[in-house]
Structure 1
Amino acid sequence: MLMNRMETVLVNSPPRRWLQRYEARVLTALGGRTPGARVAELGCGSGYGTRLILDEFGAARVDAVDLDPAMISRARHRLRRHTGRAHLARGSATDLRSAFHDVGGGQNGTYDAVFDFAIIHHIPNWREALDEVARVLKPGGRFFFDEVTATALARPTYQVLFDHPSEDRFTAGEFLHELSRHGLDVGERWRTRIGGDYLLGVATRQ
């Protein structure tokens, strides 16, 4: 589901960009960089995470998808100096084949890595999103995730300010269990923050 106005303002703010840089450092410590890789990003938003994947993680190319055409437009502007390395498409994180068919992306075993900067908790059928991640990753490919759990979404501030699916929210434990069920091995490469509100980690496709 699309973000509401308040969350859109927040994700485009300097504090969110600072936090995303911190999250990228944590994910790098947990799973390493991705030099020369072809990568998919779920929910690129305004493109700041896409730029981190290219500049900090070292990916050669990113296929990035988002539901919101306004966000795609912002991302195109932010990534204008990365022409040829970032392909942006409007579409769903549960159907990457449709989003990237014109560039040969989204097929089985296409990507060396997939990135999720706090997008999957917005998806009502979040298990289908993880199934899609597992489908498009190569064997040995990595899934870098930074997620908001049901613990955080139940807090009054989240309920008042933001819109999220009200059913089938996941705890950190449920998310990790679902990764394993989809053949994504996280091992010890995960961390929770603020009493289990946030979950960061890296899983490898078996």
Structure 2
Amino acid sequence: MLMNRMESRLIDSPPRRLVQRFEVARLSSLGGRTPGARVAELGCGPGYGTKLILDVFGAATVDAVDLDPAMIAKAAGRLARYQGRVNLAEGSATDLAAAFAAFDGGQDGHYDAVFDFAVIHHIPRWRNALAEVARVLQPGGRFFFTEVTAAALARPSYQKLFDHPTEDRFTAGEFLAELAGHGLDVGDMWRTYIGGDYLLGAATRLTTRGETDA
């Protein structure tokens, strides 16, 4: 679902960019960098996370999707200097093949890494989004995520300021268990913050479900 006006402003603000730099530092310490990688990003927003994927993680290319055409327009402006390295698409994170069809992205095993900067908790069918992550990642590929859990979304401040799906919200444990069910192995590459409100980590796509890479 689309963010409301308050959250749309917040994600393109200096405080959010500061937090995102902290998140990226923690993610790279857990899951490593992705030099030369072909990457997909779920919910690019105004494109600052995309920029960090290119500059800090060292990705070669990023295919980024967002539901909001206004965010796509902002991201296009911010990322103009990365011409040829970024493809932006309006569409759903639950159907990357359709979203990325114009540039032949979103195929099975197409990406070395997928990034989620606090987007999946906005998706009512969040389990479908994680299934899509597993589908498009190649074996050994990594899924980097930061997420907001049900504990945070239940707080009065969140309910007053922001709009989120009201049903089937996930705890940190439920999110991690769903990853495992799709062959995404987190191991000890995850952390929670502020009483379990926020979840951050990196998962590796197994060769097949239940097996580790040789």
Q: Give the 3-state SS of the residue equivalent to 1:191 in structure 2.
A: strand
1:2-41 → structure 2 map (5 Å cutoff): 2-41=2-41
Q: Give the 3-state SS of the residue equivalent to 1:112 in structure 2.
A: strand
Report what 2:126 is aligned to: 126
Cα distance in structure 2, aligned partners of 1:100 and 1:122: 20
Cα distance in structure 1, aligned partners of 2:111 and 2:66: 17
1:44-123 → structure 2 map (5 Å cutoff): 44-123=44-123
Report what 2:183 is aligned to: 183
Cα distance in structure 2, aligned partners of 1:116 and 1:30: 15
**Deviation of the 1:34 alpha carbon:** 0.3
Cα distance in structure 1, aligned partners of 2:49 and 2:110: 20
C-alpha distance after superposition, 1:55-105 (max 9, x if no partner): 000000000000000000000000000000010000000000011112111
Q: Which amino acid aligns with 1:64?
A: A
Cα distance in structure 2, aligned partners of 1:9 and 1:197: 21
Report what 2:138 is aligned to: 138
**Deviation of the 1:181 alpha carbon:** 0.4
C-alpha distance after superposition, 1:2-28 (max 9, x if no partner): 000010111111000000000000000
* Structure 2 stretches lacking a partner, 5+ long: 207-214
Q: Which amino acid aligns with 2:175?
A: F
**Deviation of the 1:143 alpha carbon:** 0.1
Cα distance in structure 1, aligned partners of 2:125 and 2:102: 25
Q: Which amino acid aligns with 1:37?
A: A
Report what 1:161 is aligned to: 161
Q: Which amino acid aligns with 1:13?
A: S
Normalising by structure 1, report the TM-score.
1.00
C-alpha distance after superposition, 1:133-177 (max 9, x if no partner): 000000000000000000000000000000000000000000000
Q: Give the 3-state SS of the residue equivalent to 1:88 in structure 2.
A: strand
Runs of 4+ in 1 over 4 A off after TM superposition: none
Cα distance in structure 1, aligned partners of 2:107 and 2:91: 15
Cα distance in structure 1, aligned partners of 2:83 and 2:158: 36
Cα distance in structure 1, aligned partners of 2:89 and 2:63: 8
Q: Which amino acid aligns with 1:146?
A: T
How many correspondences in the alignment?
Answer: 206
Q: Give the 3-state SS of the residue equivalent to 1:144 in structure 2.
A: strand
Normalising by structure 2, report the TM-score.
0.96
Report what 2:211 is aligned to: none
Q: Give the 3-state SS of the residue equivalent to 1:16 in structure 2.
A: helix
Aligned CA-pair RMSD = 0.4
Q: Which moved more, 1:98-107 or 1:52-61?
A: 98-107
Report what 1:172 is aligned to: 172
Cα distance in structure 2, aligned partners of 1:151 and 1:188: 21
Residue identity (%): 75
